[in-house]
Structure 1
C-alpha cells in the first residue's frame, strides 16, 4: 500500500512527461441507489483500463471513508477546492495510484463550480488544459444525486455507466436516474453493468428485463457492458487497498473487469463531445449551472 503513496507535487509532472495524446474519453460511473458497488467498479475499471495501456485520471466525488482514495490506500490532503481557491496548483492535488492511475478528489470543488465568476472559470479551464495531451481516460466515480438532482459530472461525460444489482431497489433507482437524465437533460445513451450477480446468465436476464422497460417508456439507448458475480476476491482486494487485478491477476473477477474495460472503450453508446480535457471542464461548468438552476427551480 505504501508504494502507491505519491508525493502530490509530482503527480501532474508524471502525467505530462508521458507520451502525448490528443483527446480523452470521459466516463462517469453512477448508480440509482447506494450499495450497488459503484466505487468498487470504478477502482477496478480504472485498473483494467490502466493495464490495457490507458492513462486514467480518476475523479473522486465521494467522501471518506469509502471513496477512491481510501480504496487505493491514498491520503488526499488537498482537493479540487484548493485549486479553485488558488491555494494549490493542480499538480499539488493529483495523487498517483497503481499503474497509470491518477486520482483527483473533487467533492467540494464540484459543488463550488456554479458560484465561480467568469475569470475564475477561465483559470480553472486553463489548469485542466495541461492534462489534455497526457491522459487517455477520465473516469468519474460520481456521488449519488437526490431524487430531483442530477449531478453535473454525469451530464458532462461522453459515457454514463450505470451500476445495478439484481435487487428491486437497485433497478428502481437506476430506472429513476435514467428517466430523470433523459427527460430533464436529454441524455439518451447509457451503459449498464450488472454487479454482484450469482451467474452470468442471471445478469443477462436482469439487463434484458430492465432494458426492455426502459427502452419502451423512456426512448433511451441501453447497452450491456458486462457483469461481475459475487466473488470474495473482490472483497479481499478491497481490504488490501488494491484493485482485484493487482491482488489476484488470475481470477474470474479480474477477467470480468477486463471485459468491462474493453466494452466501454469500444462501445458506440455515447455522446460525442470535444475530447480535450479543457473541453470537459467547460462542459462541467456549464452543466453545473444547468443542474443547479433545475434543482432550485
Structure 2
C-alpha cells in the first residue's frame, strides 16, 4: 500500500543558458519557505554554484565530500538566513548517477533521514540535453522547464522535451515562462510549445505560470537577494508568490518509500542499468 510522501523533489532546468532558470529556482524556494514550508536547494550546476551565488552563500563542503565518505549529509548542509537549506552539488552530478552500491545505500539512508523535516527539495540543474543532466532530471518527482520567448529558446526547450518524453517516457512536464512582456504573451508561448509537443510527441505539457519582465528581479539578483525580500510589492514578487502557490497545489506525489528515498532509489536504478 502506498503512503503519501512528505518531501516533494522538484527538478528545474532549461533548454539553454540565459533564460533565468537559477533565478526562478532560488526565488521559488524562498517564496515556498515564506509560505511556511521547509525547503532545501541542491545546486547541481557543475561549472559554478549558481544558486549559492544568487543567495550570497558559500558552503564549506559539497556533495563530493558526502559521496566520498568524508562527510555525512547533514555536515554539508548550509542554512541561509532565509532558513532555506543549501547543498553545493559542485561537479558531482555525473557521480550521483553512477554511485557504487555501497555509496547508493548510504545515500538512500541519509537522504531518507531528512524526509520528515523537509517539504520540498528543489534541484537547480544545468541547462541543455547532456545525458547525465536528463538522467538526474528523470529521477525527480516533478520536472519544471523554464523557457523564454524567442525562436532559439523554444527550439532548445522542445529538444529537451523530446528527449525527456521519448527516451525517458515522462508524462508530466511543467512549463514556466520567464521574462514575458505580458501574461498573454506567456500563455501564447506555452500554447505554441504545447501544440508542437502534442502533435509530434503525443505529449501534453502543463502550464505552471509566468514571471513577467521586471528590472527589480534583476536588481535583487545583483544584490544576492530574493525579489520577495528586495522588492516585496513588485510585479516579479507577485508572480513568484503565485508560482509558489501553484507549485504547492500540485497533486502530491506518492511513493511507498517516501519522496527522497524514491529519488535516490531511481538513481540506484540508473547505476544498475549502466552496469548490467
Aligned equivalents of 2:240, 2:76: Cα separation in 1? 28
Count of residue correspondences: 271
Structure 2: 5+ residue stretches without partners: none
**TM superposition shift of 1:288:** 5.5
Query: In the alignment, is the contact (CA less than 8 A) between 2:44 and 2:89 conserved in 1?
Result: yes
Aligned equivalents of 1:145, 1:23: Cα separation in 2? 30
Whether 1:254 and 2:237 are equivalent positions in the alignment is yes
Q: In the alignment, which residue of structure 1 is the partner of 2:265?
A: 282
Question: Secondary structure of 1:220's match?
Answer: coil
Query: In the alignment, is the contact (CA less than 8 A) between 2:46 and 2:93 conserved in 1?
Result: no
Query: In the alignment, is the contact (CA less than 8 A) between 1:234 and 1:244 conserved in 2?
Result: yes
Q: In the alignment, which residue of structure 1 is the partner of 2:143?
A: 160
Larger RCO, structure (CA 8 Å, separation 6 or more): 2
Aligned equivalents of 1:66, 1:116: Cα separation in 2? 22
* C-alpha RMSD over aligned residues: 2.1
Q: For residues 85-124 of structure 1, what are the structure 2 equivalents within 5 Å?
A: 85-124=68-107
Q: In the alignment, which residue of structure 1 is the partner of 2:179?
A: 196
Whether 1:215 and 2:180 are equivalent positions in the alignment is no
Structure 1: 5+ residue stretches without partners: 1-20
Aligned equivalents of 2:249, 2:263: Cα separation in 1? 20
Aligned equivalents of 1:199, 1:50: Cα separation in 2? 27
Aligned equivalents of 1:110, 1:37: Cα separation in 2? 20
TM-score, with length taken from structure 2: 0.91
Aligned equivalents of 2:101, 2:125: Cα separation in 1? 25
Question: Secondary structure of 2:91's match?
Answer: helix
**TM superposition shift of 1:159:** 1.1
Q: Over residues 138-160 of structure 1, what are the superposed CA-to-partner deviations in whole Å (9 max), with x where a residue is unaligned?
A: 11101124466643221111111
TM-score, with length taken from structure 1: 0.85
**TM superposition shift of 1:287:** 3.4
Q: In the alignment, which residue of structure 1 is the partner of 2:224?
A: 241
Match of 2:42 among 45, 59, 73: 59
